[in-house]
Structure 1
Amino acid sequence: MGSQSHPHPHLNGDSNTHIPKKPKLSSLSSSLITEAEIQNEFNHHDPTVARINNGSFGCCPLSIIQSQQELQLEFLRQPDHFYFSELKPGILKSRILIQRLINAHHLDEISIVDNATTAAAIVLQNIAWSFAEGKFNHGDVAIMLHYAYGAVKKSIEAYVTRAGGHVIEVHLPFPVNSKDEIVFEFRKALEKGKENGKKVRLAVIDHITSMPSVVIPVKELVRICREEGVDQVFVDAAHGIGCTDVDMQDIGADFYTSNLHKWLFCPPSIAFLYCRKSPGCIDLHHPVVSHEYGNGLAVESAWIGTRDYSAQLVVPKVFDFVNRFEDGIEGIKKRNHDNVVEMGQMLAKAWETNLGCPPEMCASMIMVGLPACLGISSDLDTLKLRTHLREKFGVEVPIYYRAPKDGEFDVVTGYARISYQVYNKVEDYHKFRDAINQLVGDGFTCALLYN
């Protein structure tokens, strides 16, 4: 958040404007959506595939795709008019809606970027500058979860480790039985980070880990960071919006990012980066430097050169779509959570395995143990089995390898991460159940995939 003036006040907005916490039901949505209408909105999905992997790429309704295409054509029809008259007020409107949804105090705390990976680069780039400029000492510490998203781990390596920072991973148990296990391991990592008088400059905390998928007690971990004097807290919530509760005042992090294309029905790709406004506000910049450099992160992010900004402009239409569901986004979250737990329990019972966490520690994704007899013994096995399920059975689902601990034999080593979104049907999960049952019945093992 730069301290420099903003030449485009209509883009950055009035940070003191009072607006309601949650967007109200749109006047354009006169009736609740029906099941038939839901299926029609997603009839562009491949009907031969049980698509139970919404978590990876999200989904976009046809009505939103059509709105996006209209915006794309509008730009191509008269780019100058679109740039000077439509783009900036359109992005401002999207930012206002996001501000309301996540309960941020100030509009200029909200920047729209391509994805959570871009948001991570913005935050971590600033950490690297702090090392380079002598604000941080060589060997100062950054904490991250062992199950942090792979791209974010690479960013930490590129920006923090290379700049001289020391990175400590929080090793989390899996399967996990309670949030207390996570809190315990997090405290241990913080203690290690503070050894020999070192400073913990940054904690990177996932709100929902990707693989394995578990909802992290992020509010409690942020509170612990404050108590232990951690300089900055960045919450990577790639799966947050539309999947779990996201309230900036309640969570209290310095930085928070979430994709809108995963669980909020936006087309790829759009995410927001929240940067808490405070007296010592950090001067963040977009890693792509363009004409708006120095005018504040929100303004810089709104123009990084000629590109397709349509995904950032359809947010109001997406809110109209969401508000056609009973209780809006809250209703969708509850519906998806309840259904994914039910389907996960059904699969675990059918395969006589277990879930990867208690139901209260999942949102719209849950980990389900696969039969041990499948012989999953490496990450490569999971990739080959996933491909086999896609090509032979028409099932799309990610699989996680959990290495057995010393002394463990004949245990579950493979977990499927199933998602539930509004377009999913019970038949999708029955198809997955039956595919695994057929493999077990045929005496299949992953070793056969190498022949």
Structure 2
Amino acid sequence: MGDITLPSRVKSDYVQFGHALRDSDFLFDPSYRNLNHGSFGTIPSHIRNVMRRYQDQAEAKPDPFIRYTYPQLLDESRTAVATLLGVPTETCVFVSNATMGVNTVLRNIVWNRDGKDEILYFETIYGGCAKTVDYVVEYNRGLVQSRCVPILYPCADDAIVESFEKAVQQVEKEGKRVRLALFDVVSSNPGVRFPFEAITASCKRHGILSLVDGAQGIGMVKLDHLGEVDPDFFVSNCHKWLHVPRGCAVFYVPLRNQGLIRSTVPTSHGFEAAELPGGNKRVNPLPPNEKGYFVNAFQFVGTMDNAPYLCVNDAIKWREEALGGEVRIREELMKMAREGGKLVAEALGTEVLDNEEGTMSASAMTNVALPLLAEDIKANGDGAAVHSYILSTLMEEYQTFVAVFVFQGRWWARLSAQVYLELEDFKWAGGVLKEVCDRVVKGEYKRST
């Protein structure tokens, strides 16, 4: 951390979450209410200052810092995040974002030559990852296919596991094999907690590689049991919920699978070809080290500003010493999201997306139905226009943003709880969404196109 010190707070008097914290520690425009933390995250001014100090060190002495100091600081962040996840340090590296981690896995898997491999994913897959699956299927020209597992929300976690098991059985019935399953910790739209532990266990029973997309994960839900869950691959954005600068994601690969990850994306100096003409060996110009192939490969992947990676250790420390630690943050945010979601639903006269067990809402995001008839809008062919109108109106007239989407025939709004918000923000958001929806019903969106 250098000579940058944490804000002056003592453990017996943790700061209260809410607007006072927003005004003292965060960088928002005073007129803006950030109700969409789940998309891009944000950082406190303290972590911004830490990041800039790392950047200044890199500019002061580029070669000494990048070649020697940076790897040492990177190891400190790797150790900090590994401790948070409950896994060995040598199983954790950093990539720029969760999509990069998913790409890294899918582009490294060697598919069987008999063409019977399948990738299984759920209906709620993140769009960028769905397109990655599409590309992998297209690029490998018949070696691998993909299959979507439908989900009918709301439902119990057991129903999701049952749907997965049935899909696996169907694949096997057709004489094929599920080689890899891709699933979330918390899905994006809708933003609900997914039973990734149970699906991982199912993968183990069937000999399927599990790729867990925790884009919405670390810093929001309990993940210190990751070593016990033991997925084959796991990636989670640190810049969303861990207060780390964009873009930074932890990429976890247990030792048993590191041999499957032959190359980073893009390939760089850490790659070692199995065989080169004439027995030649390409030179790695970076300082030698005793780290394993996997860790060494991800230590340097081309020249870019990796200062966010170095801030992970500092962000975890800030959250512990200034905010009270991971348990307090998780519990407070989940409580805020649940109570806030009810306030929004009350204002809209609708309901929150959840199951009877309450497991779907066990995160820091809430999904509330909008009072719009999706079928009527679809019948008029106005879905895209309505979506654009709602988002632009929220940003331009109300100085906020709420993720709005259509899922299973209904319009929904996804809102994020965060340490700089209060329940009053959710009550306000409910009123705003009601006003905007009323304007949609009156056809105002047609005049804006």
Q: 1:429 to 1:28 in 2, by over 3 A?
A: closer
Aligned positions of 1:261-340 closer than 5 A:
261-278=239-256, 281-294=259-272, 296-325=293-322, 327-340=324-337
Partner of 2:177: 199
Q: 1:142 to 1:40 in 2, by over 3 A?
A: same
Please give the alpha-carbon distance, in whole angstroms, between the structure 1 residues aligned to 2:146 and 2:7: 49
Aligned positions of 1:102-141 closer than 5 A:
102-104=85-87, 106-127=88-109, 130-131=110-111, 135-141=112-118
Please give the alpha-carbon distance, in whole angstroms, between the structure 2 residues aligned to 1:171 and 1:72: 45
Equivalent position SS for 2:359: helix
Partner of 2:398: 393
User: Could you tell me whether the CA contact under 8 Å between 1:50 and 1:429 is conserved in 2?
Assistant: no
Partner of 2:127: 150
User: Could you tell me whether the CA contact under 8 Å between 1:381 and 1:446 is conserved in 2?
Assistant: no
Partner of 1:384: 389
Please give the alpha-carbon distance, in whole angstroms, between the structure 1 residues aligned to 2:77 and 2:84: 11
Please give the alpha-carbon distance, in whole angstroms, between the structure 2 residues aligned to 1:217 and 1:113: 24
User: Could you tell me whether the CA contact under 8 Å between 2:9 and 2:322 is conserved in 1?
Assistant: no
Equivalent position SS for 2:155: coil
Equivalent position SS for 1:371: coil
The alpha carbon displacement at 1:403 in A equals: 4.6
Q: 1:87 to 1:43 in 2, by over 3 A?
A: closer
For normalisation by structure 1, the TM-score amounts to 0.85
Q: 1:382 to 1:290 in 2, by over 3 A?
A: same
The alpha carbon displacement at 1:217 in A equals: 0.7
User: Could you tell me whether the CA contact under 8 Å between 1:379 and 1:400 is conserved in 2?
Assistant: no
User: Could you tell me whether the CA contact under 8 Å between 1:239 and 1:262 is conserved in 2?
Assistant: yes
Partner of 1:416: 413
Q: 1:124 to 1:154 in 2, by over 3 A?
A: same
User: Could you tell me whether the CA contact under 8 Å between 2:393 and 2:436 is conserved in 1?
Assistant: no
- Provide, for residues 203-222 of structure 1, a one-character-per-residue CA deviation record: whole Å limited to 9, x for no partner: 11111110111211111111
Tell me, yes or no, if structure 1 residue 218 matches structure 2 residue 196.
yes
Please identify runs of 4+ aligned residues in structure 1 that moved more than 6 A.
26-29
Tell me, yes or no, if structure 1 residue 360 matches structure 2 residue 359.
yes
Q: Which amino acid aligns with 1:83?
A: I
The alpha carbon displacement at 1:282 in A equals: 2.2
Q: Which amino acid aligns with 2:404?
A: I
Cα-Cα RMSD:
2.4
Partner of 1:23: none
Partner of 1:84: 67
Q: How many residues align?
A: 410
Please give the alpha-carbon distance, in whole angstroms, between the structure 2 residues aligned to 1:185 and 1:352: 32
Partner of 1:34: 15
Please give the alpha-carbon distance, in whole angstroms, between the structure 2 residues aligned to 1:316 and 1:136: 43
- Provide, for residues 12-38 of structure 1, a one-character-per-residue CA deviation record: whole Å limited to 9, x for no partner: xxxxxxxxxxxxxx9996444423762
Q: Which amino acid aligns with 2:413?
A: A
Equivalent position SS for 2:345: helix
- Provide, for residues 308-365 of structure 1, a one-character-per-residue CA deviation record: whole Å limited to 9, x for no partner: 1110111221122100256401110110000010010111122221111234312001
Q: Which amino acid aligns with 1:34?
A: V
Partner of 2:446: 448
Aligned positions of 1:180-195 closer than 5 A:
180-195=158-173
Q: 1:383 to 1:158 in 2, by over 3 A?
A: same
Partner of 1:341: 338
Name the stretch that deviates more: 233-242 or 366-375: 366-375
Name the stretch that deviates more: 298-307 or 330-339: 298-307
Equivalent position SS for 1:213: coil
The alpha carbon displacement at 1:402 in A equals: 2.7
- Provide, for residues 290-311 of structure 1, a one-character-per-residue CA deviation record: whole Å limited to 9, x for no partner: 2222362322222112211110
- Provide, for residues 64-105 of structure 1, a one-character-per-residue CA deviation record: whole Å limited to 9, x for no partner: 00110111111111101212331010000010111111011x
Partner of 1:242: 219
Q: 1:122 to 1:449 in 2, by over 3 A?
A: farther
Equivalent position SS for 1:261: helix
Please give the alpha-carbon distance, in whole angstroms, between the structure 2 residues aligned to 1:401 and 1:54: 20
Please give the alpha-carbon distance, in whole angstroms, between the structure 1 residues aligned to 2:21 and 2:56: 26
Please give the alpha-carbon distance, in whole angstroms, between the structure 2 residues aligned to 1:347 and 1:42: 27
Equivalent position SS for 1:324: helix
Q: Which amino acid aligns with 2:243?
A: F
Please give the alpha-carbon distance, in whole angstroms, between the structure 2 residues aligned to 1:305 and 1:74: 19
The alpha carbon displacement at 1:185 in A equals: 1.9
User: Could you tell me whether the CA contact under 8 Å between 2:349 and 2:371 is conserved in 1?
Assistant: yes
User: Could you tell me whether the CA contact under 8 Å between 1:58 and 1:261 is conserved in 2?
Assistant: yes
The alpha carbon displacement at 1:49 in A equals: 2.2
Partner of 1:18: none
User: Could you tell me whether the CA contact under 8 Å between 2:105 and 2:261 is conserved in 1?
Assistant: no
Name the stretch that deviates more: 255-264 or 155-164: 155-164
The alpha carbon displacement at 1:280 in A equals: 8.6
Equivalent position SS for 1:51: coil
Q: Which amino acid aligns with 2:237?
A: N
The alpha carbon displacement at 1:249 in A equals: 2.2
Equivalent position SS for 1:119: helix
The unaligned stretches of length 5 or more in structure 2 are: 1-5, 273-291
Partner of 2:80: 97
